[in-house]
Structure 1
Amino acid sequence: MWIKKFKWLVLFFSLTSCISYSYIDIEFYDSPQKSIVVPGENLLVVENLHLRNTDTPIRELDWALDSVASNEATDALISLFKTSPWYAGISLFKHIYYRNDSSRVVLPLSWQVIDSLSNVYNSKMVVSLEYLKVRPYYDTYPLWRGDFKEYYGFIQVSSYTYWRIYNVETRKINLGQLLTDTLLWEKNDWIEVTPGNQLPGIFEACAFAGADAGEQFAQLIAPQWQKDSRAVYVPNTNKEMSRAYQLAMHGNWLDAAAIWQRLSSSTSKELAAQAAFNMALANEMLGKFQLSIEWLDFAKSKYPHLKFLNEYRDILQHRIENNKPQK
């Protein structure tokens, strides 16, 4: 019995030893969709709160919900600024500005106001939440499941958000961005479904909507580190490939690439393709995405059946799209 198990173990290890690739974990970030270069070392985020008539409980609640959402939006934006490598070394400040303009159009702040805020915080760029409006809606009703009555309820919050970025040095508005969204929470229960019980409360839901508005804007201008994995070829029978792999694991991609480039001329087409595949990875790590594609094409020309070729090409194409220079 023990001998049979031993034979199966030998077979298992003989099969796994034939695997010529490994996986490595990487971290990267792509260029923002809306590239903003901050002049100086300080960045000011302004939360605009629009003063309006609050002489009835409904109007007062409406203003309070918008205010809660606005506060969450700017806090979420600042939080993501802090973790974005694009804004490394930038000091962040927040200011609440009360407005009483009643125009239906979201007017930009005057340069007099921008200059005043800029002087206080020594910031040459101002990111401004110009306007945020949330509209919560809730409903519930019974549903019959045969002889049993069940309740369905939901709360949704639609949001309308407008952001601007002011450049004090150039006296220009670098970006104006409108974002709209609707968040939905729903629940089934045997008792009536209400906000604050099975569903988020009204204030909580509006706070979520505000944070979502801040995160959506951050996705455009504040890229975050992303974690992923990549395949790398490490055939056990080739010491040079193993040496290059060890160099890469220590972050020495240039020296690893020198070995892989030499091996890409191997008389063994499979080995040449594996080395070329690794060259594509090295160039991705160095930010040379188009060159990565060229190395993948070379690998395919050498050994079309090499694993991961198509999947990795799709990944690289996606990164190329994400890092295209903005017009």
Structure 2
Amino acid sequence: MKKLLSYSFWGALILLFYSCQPLVSLQIETIKPSQVNFPGAFNKIMFINLETDFNNDQEIDTLLFNIITNEMKLGFYDGIKLTPNIDSSRFIVGNHFFQSNLIYENDTINWNLLQEINRQYGTDIIIVIDSLNYIMDSGTETNYYSIPNEFYKFRELSIEVYWKMYDIYEKKIIDSFVYSDTLIWDAVDTDLKELDKKIPSVLSCVKEVSYFAAVDYSSRIFPVWKTQTRYLFAEGNKQFKIAAQLANEGKWDSASEIWKQYVKHVDKEIASRACFNLALASEIIENIDHAIQWAQISYDLKEKKRTKYYILILKSRKSEIDKLKGQL
């Protein structure tokens, strides 16, 4: 399995030695599992937009189709940048029109057609937009009580996307999800011409809301990196400062050897801090079970809210790691 965690300290080393606070913080990046049963083994992913009639006039809106599909492609590309196991070379966009009635025959999925797509493009996962709707509202209001008069303008654009995700190899639906979101742009000015310049064009608004629809959906279906903050006790005695320095240099094993000397210290505060730090060290080296054990010992020595919260975080991470085993 791929590495599930990376870290970096916040702030300079001067924080470790001259801060009055016993704790220092560090930033870690962990992998959040997909919210769906995302397969870890796959060849390529294809994105298909089946929505071609945006004006409901029974005609294909080629220009809008190309603009919206392209913006969603960019959204997926940026979403993929946050994943640990997918790169853009494995993501294909179906830029031509796919007829919905060919993919769905009598409300049944035409797996033969999907398998033909697999043979043609080498893709075994397909992300499909079944339907896509936009609702826009806009207006201008005048405040006559201000001198000079103030004008307020807004534009509100809502999007609703019916997403589906298919595993062609297994012939199953991975995800079926209705996504909805609303973006609002507004501005105030005393000059109507200047006010109009502050509000994006309708096309720009459509692009933006389409882009974020793809970004948001990618965070649902793909495992993604997420940033979290952890804490380390750098104060306690001189040895704790040395251990913190070693940890800051990435020498967690050496730092742990120092902390282990204090886990049975007569001062329970010192012992609790040592165990807390050992829990963090265990998490950093990806031994989540030992991390939970050390955190629990720390809490048993000193019942602190921070430690209790950390135990909950570690248990949640253990659950996430179990889910990730089939996704990476």
**TM-score if structure 1 supplies the norm length?**
0.76
Structure 1 residue 233: Cα displacement = 1.5
Q: CA 1:220–1:52 in 2, change beyond 3 Å: closer, same or farther?
A: closer
Q: Residue 47 of structure 1 aligns to which amino acid in structure 2? A: N
Query: 1:208-236: per-residue Cα shift (whole Å, max 9, x none)?
Result: 11011101101212243333432211237
Between 47-56 and 122-131, the greater mean CA deviation after superposition: 47-56
Q: Is the CA contact 1:279–1:295 (under 8 Å) kept in the aligned structure 2?
A: yes
Query: 1:21-70: per-residue Cα shift (whole Å, max 9, x none)?
Result: 333332222222224014333222223342588879xx78x774465333
Question: Could you tell me how far apart the structure 2 residues matched to 1:228 and 1:109 are?
Answer: 41
Q: Residue 96 of structure 1 aligns to which amino acid in structure 2? A: N
Structure 1 residue 124: Cα displacement = 1.7
Alignment of 1:47-196 (within 5 A): 47-51=49-53, 64-65=63-64, 67-87=66-86, 91-101=90-100, 110-192=110-192
Question: Could you tell me how far apart the structure 1 residues matched to 2:43 and 2:259 are?
Answer: 41
Question: Could you tell me how far apart the structure 2 residues matched to 1:286 and 1:277 are?
Answer: 15
Query: 1:145-168: per-residue Cα shift (whole Å, max 9, x none)?
Result: 245421111111111112211112
Q: CA 1:18–1:189 in 2, change beyond 3 Å: closer, same or farther?
A: closer
**1:219 alignment counterpart:** 219
Structure 1 residue 266: Cα displacement = 1.9
Question: Could you tell me how far apart the structure 2 residues matched to 1:209 and 1:176 are?
Answer: 20
Between 265-274 and 287-296, the greater mean CA deviation after superposition: 287-296
Indicate the SS of the match to 1:235. coil
Between 220-229 and 311-320, the greater mean CA deviation after superposition: 311-320
**1:5 alignment counterpart:** none
Query: 1:285-320: per-residue Cα shift (whole Å, max 9, x none)?
Result: 345557545533432332346x94366456556656
Question: Could you tell me how far apart the structure 2 residues matched to 1:184 and 1:95 are?
Answer: 30
Q: CA 1:250–1:34 in 2, change beyond 3 Å: closer, same or farther?
A: farther
Question: Could you tell me how far apart the structure 1 residues matched to 2:145 and 2:316 are?
Answer: 47
Q: CA 1:37–1:98 in 2, change beyond 3 Å: closer, same or farther?
A: same
Structure 1 segments unaligned to the other structure (5+ residues): 1-12
Aligned residues with identical type, % of pairs = 21
Query: 1:129-186: per-residue Cα shift (whole Å, max 9, x none)?
Result: 3332222222112122245421111111111112211112111111111101111111
Q: CA 1:52–1:232 in 2, change beyond 3 Å: closer, same or farther?
A: closer
Q: Is the CA contact 1:151–1:193 (under 8 Å) kept in the aligned structure 2?
A: no
Q: Residue 165 of structure 1 aligns to which amino acid in structure 2? A: M
Question: Could you tell me how far apart the structure 2 residues matched to 1:312 and 1:52 are?
Answer: 49
Q: Residue 214 of structure 2 aligns to which amino acid in structure 1? A: G
Q: CA 1:46–1:64 in 2, change beyond 3 Å: closer, same or farther?
A: same
Question: Could you tell me how far apart the structure 2 residues matched to 1:47 and 1:75 are?
Answer: 14
Q: Is the CA contact 1:71–1:210 (under 8 Å) kept in the aligned structure 2?
A: no
Indicate the SS of the match to 1:266. coil
**TM-score if structure 2 supplies the norm length?**
0.76
Q: CA 1:118–1:202 in 2, change beyond 3 Å: closer, same or farther?
A: same
Larger radius of gyration: 1
Residue among 5, 11, 26 paired with 1:24: 26
Indicate the SS of the match to 1:98. coil
Indicate the SS of the match to 1:41. coil
Q: CA 1:108–1:197 in 2, change beyond 3 Å: closer, same or farther?
A: farther
Structure 1 residue 83: Cα displacement = 3.4
Q: Is the CA contact 2:236–2:270 (under 8 Å) kept in the aligned structure 1?
A: no
Indicate the SS of the match to 1:93. strand
Q: Is the CA contact 1:41–1:90 (under 8 Å) kept in the aligned structure 2?
A: no
Q: Is the CA contact 2:31–2:224 (under 8 Å) kept in the aligned structure 1?
A: yes
Q: Residue 34 of structure 2 aligns to which amino acid in structure 1? A: P
Question: Could you tell me how far apart the structure 2 residues matched to 1:30 and 1:288 are?
Answer: 17
Indicate the SS of the match to 2:78. helix
Question: Could you tell me how far apart the structure 2 residues matched to 1:70 and 1:237 are?
Answer: 60
